[in-house]
Each structure stands twice: as C-alpha cells, then as structure tokens.
C-alpha cells in the first residue's frame, strides 16, 4: 500500500519496522527497502523480497549518534570529520561493526556500512522506529533503482508491508561509500563527489567497480571463509565412521551421529534459515572440528542465496 507520510502513517511504518516487517521509504538518494537492522529474520525478508542471488552487505541507516553507537564499535577521527561535514546526507561510511549487528547485514564482514539520510521522511521514520534500519534500494535484483514511490509499487508492492510516498528523490543515485582505515578508500561513486570529500579527509584511494570484487564475501578469506573445511553433502553421503569429529549444518532435521549439529530452521523455513546461516557457521567454526558438512537446500527463493553462500564458504 502506498501512503503519504502523515504522522499517523509514519507511526504505522515505525511499528511495522519494530515488529520485523518491511517498509519502503524515500531517502534523498533512492527509495530504500527497510527492515530492523538488529533483527536477522527481518533482514532476511529484504533479500527474499529483492530476490537477490546472494547476500550483499547492506547499508544501515541511523538517525542519531546514539543509533550509530549501536551498530559501529569505533568511529575514527577521520570518520568524525566526514560525519561532521556530510551527515545527514548521502555519504555511507564503512566502520568496524558492533556485536549486535547480525551477520546477515554485513555478509559476515567485520565492518558495517552506515549512513544518516538527509531526507525528512527517512529521519522521522528512523526516530519513531527507534531502531537502526538496514535498507538497500527498493528494487528487485537487477532492476533500475527506484526514485518514486510508484517505481517501488510497480515492482514490489505485494512484497512490502507499506510504501511511504515522499515524491521524487533528490539525488536519484545511491550514496557515496567510503571505507575508513589506514588509507581511506572510495568503494562506490555516489551522490557526493570525491572532490568534495578530499578537502575534509585528505587524499582518497579509489576502489570502484571491478576492484570492489575482492570485497565480496567469500573472496575475503581472512574475513569470511571459516577456518574449518566445509563440504556440502546430505547426511547419508557422509560416512558413518568418524562422524563424532564432524559438525553438521542441517536445514531442518537433526541427522544422527555427528559431534555437533546446528539446525537452521526447525520449521523448514528458508527465511529463518537465511537469517541464522552466518551465526551458525561462526559457531561451528569456533569448535575446532575436523570438518563441517552442510546440507544443501532447495535452490529457490532464499535457498539460492543460502547455496551461494555455502558454495563460497566451501571453495578454498
Ligand atoms: O543511497 C543509498 O546508499 C541507498 C539508500 C536506500 O540509502 N542504499 C543502498 O544500499 O544503496 P545497498 O544496500 O544497496 O548498498 C550496499 C552496498 C554493497 O553492495 C557494498 O558495495 C556496500 O554497500 N557495502 C555495504 N556494507 C559494506 C561493508 N561492510 N564493506 C564494504 N562495502 C559495503
Ligand atoms: Mg542497489
């Protein structure tokens, strides 16, 4: 349902976010498809709605310094300088993540991308919701980014709980993304030109487009691939002998004989499974097992994203 951003509708949208639903909302760049960033299952719904083939890390939107503190555990002086000059606005900063942010938001990376949007509707929604909101552009995977509520409605209406109509967005391109650290680096060109950033933060490295690829999880072995070897196999394909030293990542049912078993979704729900995938892999990886076997899931809906992540984890 497309509604104008009246106080009543903003309150309704905030409530939907707090209770794990999806709200499409205007920002000054493009419309975002938002969910409570601290609720892994709600975030899994974003991937499901967008039909993304993989779990790209998402940008988390905040309305205050207090909210920033809940998702990022460290804000360097360089980050402070950029925040002071460009927030609220179309600048996303990649910062060390706080423990409360679930792995599905960051694709298992130790960093989180955060921005404070400059759009009054987005800010008011975030304030009323009281939770940080993960939001990619509100379009199905591979489509053009939406700059009007109608674009969102045409493509996603039946997959979103509410669409707030703020008219045409100001920037129409996504935010500029900067990763801070020893060498501040632009990861995505966006609504704020590099020429405006450099006077504030000094010379910037550029790592846009092709060179962004090494940052895709699974190609960052030190950050993503578990230390324990992972194989994809059904329980019956794993030899019975020696199972006690193995971990099994099961989709729904508990198989026999393994040392440790993690079940992704006792009810067999792909969304629930996706929401818990990274946490389960992290937990199994910390146990010093000889190997982890993971059960393949049906490759439809979120199942494709789950298998994409498992295959990346299994490739070393
Ligand atoms: O303008 C925007 O930024 C829009 C509006 C809705 O705010 N949002 C947006 O979000 O474009 P999204 O989720 O589509 O952007 C995700 C991109 C990833 O593809 C990746 O390039 C970068 O943000 N990203 C997110 N987390 C990252 C991380 N931890 N490290 C490096 N890059 C990250
Ligand atoms: Mg996008």
Q: Cβ of 217: how many Cβ atoms within 10 Å?
A: 23
pLDDT of residue 216: 41
Note whether 79 and 147 are within 8 A (CB). Answer: no
What's the pLDDT tens digit per position in 49-77?
998 777 789 999 999 999 999 999 999 99
pLDDT of residue 286: 84
What's the pLDDT tens digit per position in 20-44?
999 999 999 999 999 999 999 999 9
Instruction: Give the position, in ligand 1's atom list, of the atom nearest the Cα of 58.
Output: 13
Which residues are known binding-site members? Answer: 29, 52, 61, 111, 115, 135, 137, 145, 175, 188, 224
Helix, strand, coil: what percent of the chain each, to 5?
Answer: 35, 20, 45
Q: Which of 273, 278, 228 is nearest to 97 (CA)?
A: 278
Instruction: Give the position, in ligand 1's atom list, of the atom nearest the Cα of 174.
Output: 1
Of 29, 46, 56, 166, the residue with max ligand 1 atoms within 8 A of its CB, to mutate for a pocket test, comes to: 56
Q: Where are the beta strands (DSSP E) in 37-135?
A: 59-61, 91-96, 111-115, 133-134
**Spatial separation of the C-alpha atoms in residues 135 and 137, rounded to whole Å:** 7
What is this structure's pTM?
A: 0.83
- CA separation, residue 207 to residues 179, 188, 193 (Å): 10, 8, 14
CATH architecture of 2-214: Alpha-Beta Complex (3.90)
pLDDT-derived band at 225 (thresholds 50, 70, 90) equals low
- Residues lining ligand 1, judged by CB closer than 6 Å? 27, 29-30, 32, 56-59, 90, 92, 94, 106, 109, 111-113, 117, 135-137, 174-175, 177, 179, 187-188, 215
Burial, 65: exposed, middle or buried (Cβ in 10 Å; 0-12, 13-18, 19+)? Answer: exposed
Which residues are known binding-site members for L-threonine? Answer: 29, 61, 115, 135, 175
What are 208's two structure tokens? 């846009």
The CA 177 to ligand 2 mean position distance, Å, reads 12
Domain 230-314: which CATH class? Answer: alpha beta
Q: Which of 186, 215, 225 is nearest to 315 (CA)?
A: 225
pLDDT of residue 69: 98
Beta bridge partners of 177: 92, 188
Domain with CATH 3.40.50.11030 in the chain: 230-314
Instruction: Give the position, in ligand 1's atom list, of the atom nearest the Cα of 137.
Output: 6
ipTM value greater than 0.95: yes
Burial, 223: exposed, middle or buried (Cβ in 10 Å; 0-12, 13-18, 19+)? Answer: middle
Query: What is the total residue count of the chain?
Result: 316
Q: Which of 306, 298, 113, 109 is nearest to 222 (CA)?
A: 109
Distance, CA of 181 to chain centre: 21
Three-state secondary structure call for residue 60:
strand
Domain with CATH 3.90.870.10 in the chain: 2-214
What are 254's two structure tokens? 């508990």
Q: Which helix (H) or strand (E) holds 178?
A: strand 176-179
The share of the chain scoring above pLDDT 70, in percent, equals 94
Average pLDDT over every residue of 94-106 = 96
Average pLDDT over every residue of 138-157 = 88
CB proximity list for 164: less than 8 A, separation 6 or greater? 3, 4, 5, 9, 10, 13, 23, 24, 25, 26, 121, 125, 149
**Spatial separation of the C-alpha atoms in residues 26 and 194, rounded to whole Å:** 24
Return the HEC string of 5-59. Answer: CCHHHHHHHHHHHHCCCCEEECCCCCCEEEEECCCHHHHHHHHHHHCCCCCCCCE
């Amino acid at each position: 349902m497309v509604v104008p951003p009246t106080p009543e509708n903003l309150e309704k949208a905030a409530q939907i976010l707090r209770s794990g639903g999806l709200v499409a909302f205007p920002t000054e760049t493009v419309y975002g498809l938002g969910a409570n960033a601290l609720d892994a299952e709600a975030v899994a719904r974003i991937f499901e709605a967008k039909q993304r083939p993989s779990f790209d890390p998402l940008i988390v939107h905040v309305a205050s310094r207090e909210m920033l503190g809940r998702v990022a555990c460290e804000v360097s002086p360089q980050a402070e300088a950029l925040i002071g000059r460009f927030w609220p606005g179309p600048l996303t900063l990649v910062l060390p993540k706080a423990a409360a942010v679930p792995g599905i938001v960051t694709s298992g990376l130790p960093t989180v991308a955060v921005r404070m949007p400059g759009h009054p509707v987005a800010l008011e929604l975030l304030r009323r919701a009281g939770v940080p909101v993960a939001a990619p552009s509100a379009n199905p995977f591979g489509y053009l980014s939406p700059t009007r509520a109608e674009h969102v409605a045409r493509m996603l209406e039946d997959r979103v709980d509410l669409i707030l109509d703020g008219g045409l967005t100001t920037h129409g391109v996504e935010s500029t993304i900067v990763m801070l650290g020893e060498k501040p680096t632009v990861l995505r060109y966006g609504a704020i030109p590099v020429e405006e950033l450099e006077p504030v933060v000094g010379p910037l490295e550029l790592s846009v487009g092709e060179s962004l690829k090494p940052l895709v999880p699974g190609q960052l072995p030190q950050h993503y691939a578990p230390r324990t070897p992972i194989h994809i196999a059904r329980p019956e394909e794993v030899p019975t002998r020696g199972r006690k030293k193995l971990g099994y990542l099961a989709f729904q049912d508990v198989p026999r004989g393994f040392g440790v078993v993690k079940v992704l979704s006792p009810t067999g729900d792909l969304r629930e499974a996706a929401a818990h995938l990274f946490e389960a892999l992290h937990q199994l990886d910390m146990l010093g097992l000889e190997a982890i076997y993971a059960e393949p899931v049906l490759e439809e809906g979120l199942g494709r994203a789950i298998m994409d992540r498992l295959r990346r984890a299994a490739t070393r």
